[in-house]
């Protein structure tokens, strides 16, 4: 059977009460039936499965709280992964992940487990991010820039007993229409990855553009109040600075010449020496600062280039792992007759040896698990390197902005020192005084020009950023519109497939609800959280149970027919006997589930619980675990 990605299947569930196993059952592809009497613990097991793979807000029963941990062995796109989660009444517990099956996890040391929190942080990914990556699901942001989690997508794949029968999603406090609409469309594959990336980037660009516009507006308001609204451009200020610096140089030269012509020898040689010492110390400090910051810029530029190459190398390695995985999947097991290194003949060895070259015993699943672990490690390295590179770029920008000011201060100090160091032998003290005053005035003017130039640089930089961000926003808006139009066909295909399956399932129901038997139009709205048949949304309680389960089965069936769906071809159904369901109608729904599964073209899994199993299914291999009773419950607590 073919497999569409993403694909999630439960392979084994183990619930521990301390060191004692309270529940340990294996599951298989296709339909899995958990059978037992009412109040025998079936729903508790369904809750454990939901919670073990990332679900939240589980109202635990007293028996469940006697347990300490739940282990869930998953098959994620055919790769075994084992999850472990502590059982308690705390919210948002972390999940520990082992990249392999449960027996391998049991044999492994604690250091081979990786712990991930419910919510991401600056230094740690969430378990939802890791599991999404393992299934090949792109990240998706929901309302208020919060990330869609495993809990959010499981709300559409777990039909529990507590949620009202007329709602599509599992109930949750503070639920929003936008979140449900986003998750529903996402799992139906309505939007492509490029569209989501563009939408995320557009939010970021909009925020940056608003910030740049606000900063520019505030600067202009301040300049207007100070009478500088018509400030010169950076180019004009630079030209004026060059002219003043030239005039200052001439004044310094004239001062030196005036002092050289002085006939009177100054008597305050000691005072002059003290002043020269202070000027020399100031000049030395400025020279050291300039050299230090110039050197720091050079070092950061080298580090920036080196880090960019490192990030590119990480991306290349991630792509290389993808290529290795695809190559292995395409060629399968390769038999080497000669060593590819020394060309010596490789002697065949009898027995079940996985590799003809190194004689290793690893199987395909463990190799795939290792590839998945390495890809996760490389992704973490890349994320950390990108954050460090961003900080490095910001520091480099700051240093570069400080160097021009430092260079001007250094030039001024050099001129002051050179002037003070010259012999004061000018014939006319008045000329020297006038020149000194002029030099002071020009120096002050240069300082003002430097401040104005910095302000002009900030304004021009903000204007440049605003123009670039607006251009980028225009490109993103155009791309988003184009990609949204491109998804129209996919959305039509998805809706038609769900429509056809839902109509067929309803018409095959027992003749208890006329609208179902004569169903011609069905509609649903993920945001409104409702399904309608022939324009009606409310029916008898038992019929609402049938409608709800049929819709989720239609959603699963559509995902098994179309590879663009992001629903992981998995459904967890509890309460198919609810709503005062008559025995014959419940049996008909159970057989409809099995018949649907038998004709689906791709790999999938359906787990449902029932207290009144159809006789023809009671002894079949579809039943997992023992059939429970009120005296022999699902959880064996000693």
pLDDT surpassing 80 at residue 370: yes
Res 290: pLDDT: 80
CATH number at residue 93: 3.40.50.300
At 114, which helix (H) or strand (E)? strand 114-116
Q: Is the peptide bond before 6 cis (omega within 30 degrees of 0)?
A: yes
CA distances from 599 to 564, 596, 631 (A): 19, 6, 38
> What's the burial of 499, exposed, middle or buried (CB within 10 Å: 0-12/13-18/19+)?
middle
Q: Are 609 and 593 in contact (CB under 8 A)?
A: no
pLDDT digits (tens, 9 = 90+) for 321-369: 888 878 777 766 667 778 888 888 887 776 665 676 777 666 667 777 8
pLDDT digits (tens, 9 = 90+) for 172-214: 887 788 788 889 989 998 866 677 678 778 888 998 888 888 8
Our count of domains for the chain comes to 1
Where are the alpha helices (H) located in 226-268, listed in sequence order? 234-260
pLDDT surpassing 90 at residue 28: yes
The SS3 call for residue 635 is coil
Over residues 489-494, mean pLDDT = 86
Identify each DSSP E strand in 442-563 by its residue range.
522-525, 530-533
Res 570: pLDDT: 98
Question: Would 532 be classed as within a structural domain?
Answer: yes
Query: Tokens at residue 489, please?
Result: 């066909």
pLDDT digits (tens, 9 = 90+) for 223-276: 665 555 445 566 665 677 677 778 778 878 877 877 777 554 444 554 566 676
Question: Would 531 be classed as within a structural domain?
Answer: yes
Res 272: pLDDT: 61
- For the chain, helix (H) and strand (E) counts, in that order, are 15, 12
Res 518: pLDDT: 94
Query: How many beta carbons lie within 10 A of that of residue 606, not counting itself?
Result: 23
Res 363: pLDDT: 62
Res 431: pLDDT: 75
Question: Would 558 be classed as within a structural domain?
Answer: yes
- For tokens 């419940």, the residue is 586
Domain span including residue 23: 8-191+488-618
The SS3 call for residue 344 is coil
Q: Are 27 and 12 in contact (CB under 8 A)?
A: yes
Residues 11, 341: Cα–Cα separation, whole Å: 40
Query: Tokens at residue 410, please?
Result: 């250094």
pLDDT digits (tens, 9 = 90+) for 541-556: 999 999 999 999 999 9
pLDDT surpassing 60 at residue 578: yes
Question: Would 564 be classed as within a structural domain?
Answer: yes
Question: Would 596 be classed as within a structural domain?
Answer: yes
By 3-state DSSP, what share of the chain in percent is helix, strand and coil, each rounded to 5?
Answer: 55, 10, 30
Question: Would 342 be classed as within a structural domain?
Answer: no
Q: What's the pLDDT band for 145 if we cut at 50, 70, 90?
A: very low
Question: Would 294 be classed as within a structural domain?
Answer: no
Res 229: pLDDT: 46
Res 425: pLDDT: 40
Show Cβ contacts of residue 518 under 8 Å, excluding neighbours closer than 6 positions. 534
At 181, which helix (H) or strand (E)? helix 177-187
Res 360: pLDDT: 67
> What's the burial of 628, exposed, middle or buried (CB within 10 Å: 0-12/13-18/19+)?
buried
Instruction: Identify the weakest region by mean pLDDT among 119-128, 272-281, 392-401.
Output: 272-281
pLDDT surpassing 50 at residue 596: yes
Query: Tokens at residue 421, please?
Result: 């160091």
pLDDT surpassing 80 at residue 581: yes
Report the percentage of the chain scoring pLDDT > 70. Answer: 87
pLDDT surpassing 80 at residue 125: yes
Over residues 457-476, mean pLDDT = 86
pLDDT digits (tens, 9 = 90+) for 77-120: 999 999 999 999 999 999 999 999 999 999 999 999 999 999 98
pLDDT surpassing 70 at residue 279: yes
Q: What's the pLDDT band for 426 if we cut at 50, 70, 90?
A: very low
Question: Would 426 be classed as within a structural domain?
Answer: no
CA distances from 155 to 72, 175, 370, 466, 538 (A): 18, 11, 30, 41, 22
Over residues 396-415, mean pLDDT = 85
Res 273: pLDDT: 60
Res 1: pLDDT: 80
Of the chain, the end-to-end C-alpha distance in Å amounts to 42
């Amino acid at each position: 059977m073919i497999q569409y990605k993403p694909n999630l299947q439960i392979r084994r569930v183990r619930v521990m009460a301390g060191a004692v196993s309270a529940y340990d059952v294996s599951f298989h592809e296709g339909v899995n039936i958990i059978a037992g009497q009412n109040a025998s613990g079936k729903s508790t097991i369904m809750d454990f499965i939901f919670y073990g793979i990332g679900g939240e807000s589980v109202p635990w029963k007293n028996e469940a709280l006697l347990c300490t941990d739940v282990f869930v062995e998953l098959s994620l796109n055919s790769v075994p992964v084992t999850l472990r989660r502590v059982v308690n009444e705390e919210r948002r517990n972390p999940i520990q992940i082992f990249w392999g099956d449960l027996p391998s996890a049991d044999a492994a040391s604690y250091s081979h487990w990786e712990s991930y929190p419910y919510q991401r942080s600056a230094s740690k990914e969430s378990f939802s991010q890791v599991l999404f990556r393992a299934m090949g699901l792109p990240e998706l942001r929901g309302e208020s820039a919060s990330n869609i989690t495993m809990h959010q997508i499981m709300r559409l794949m777990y039909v529990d007993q507590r949620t009202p029968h007329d709602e599509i999603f599992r109930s949750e406090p503070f639920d929003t229409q936008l979140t449900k609409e986003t998750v529903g469309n996402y799992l139906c594959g309505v939007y492509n990855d490029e569209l989501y990336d563009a939408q995320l980037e557009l939010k970021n660009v909009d925020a940056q553009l608003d910030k740049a516009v606000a900063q520019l507006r505030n600067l202009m308001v301040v300049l207007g109040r100070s009478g500088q609204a018509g400030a010169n451009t950076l180019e004009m200020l630079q030209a004026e600075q060059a002219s003043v610096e030239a005039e200052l140089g001439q004044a310094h030269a004239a001062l030196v010449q005036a002092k050289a012509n002085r006939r009177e020898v100054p008597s305050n040689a000691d005072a002059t020496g003290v002043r020269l010492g202070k000027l020399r110390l100031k000049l030395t400090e400025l020279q050291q600062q300039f050299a230090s910051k110039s050197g720091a810029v050079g070092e950061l530029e080298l580090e920036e280039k080196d880090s960019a190459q490192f990030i590119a190398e990480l991306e290349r390695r991630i792509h290389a792992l993808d290529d290795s995985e695809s190559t292995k999947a395409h060629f399968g097991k390769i038999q080497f007759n000669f060593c590819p290194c020394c060309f010596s003949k490789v002697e065949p060895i009898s027995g079940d040896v996985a590799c003809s070259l190194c004689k290793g015993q690893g199987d395909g699943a463990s190799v795939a698990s290792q590839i998945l672990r390495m890809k996760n490690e490389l992704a973490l390295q890349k994320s950390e390197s990108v954050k460090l590179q961003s900080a490095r770029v910001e520091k480099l920008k700051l240093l570069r902005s400080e160097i021009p000011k430092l260079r001007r201060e250094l030039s001024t100090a050099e001129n002051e020192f050179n002037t003070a160091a010259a012999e004061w032998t000018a014939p006319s003290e008045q000329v020297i005084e006038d020149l000194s005053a002029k030099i002071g005035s020009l120096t002050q003017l240069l300082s003002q020009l430097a401040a104005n130039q910095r302000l002009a640089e900030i304004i021009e930089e903000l204007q440049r950023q605003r123009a670039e961000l607006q251009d980028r926003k225009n490109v993103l808006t155009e791309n988003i519109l184009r990609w949204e139009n491109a998804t129209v066909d996919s959305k039509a295909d998805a809706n038609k497939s769900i429509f056809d399956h839902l109509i067929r399932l309803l018409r095959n129901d027992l003749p208890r609800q006329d609208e179902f038997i004569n169903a011609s139009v069905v509609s649903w709205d993920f945001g409104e959280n409702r399904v309608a048949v022939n324009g009606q949304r409310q029916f008898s309680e038992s019929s609402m149970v049938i409608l709800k389960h049929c819709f989720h089965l239609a959603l699963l069936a559509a995902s098994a027919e179309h590879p663009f769906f992001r629903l992981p071809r998995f459904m967890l159904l509890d309460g198919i006997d609810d709503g005062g369901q008559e025995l014959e109608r419940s049996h008909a729904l159970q057989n409809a589930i099995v018949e649907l599964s038998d004709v689906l073209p791709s790999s999938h899994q359906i787990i449902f619980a029932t207290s009144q199993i159809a006789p023809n299914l009671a002894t079949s291999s579809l039943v997992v675990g023992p059939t429970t009773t009120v005296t022999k419950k699902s959880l064996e607590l000693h």
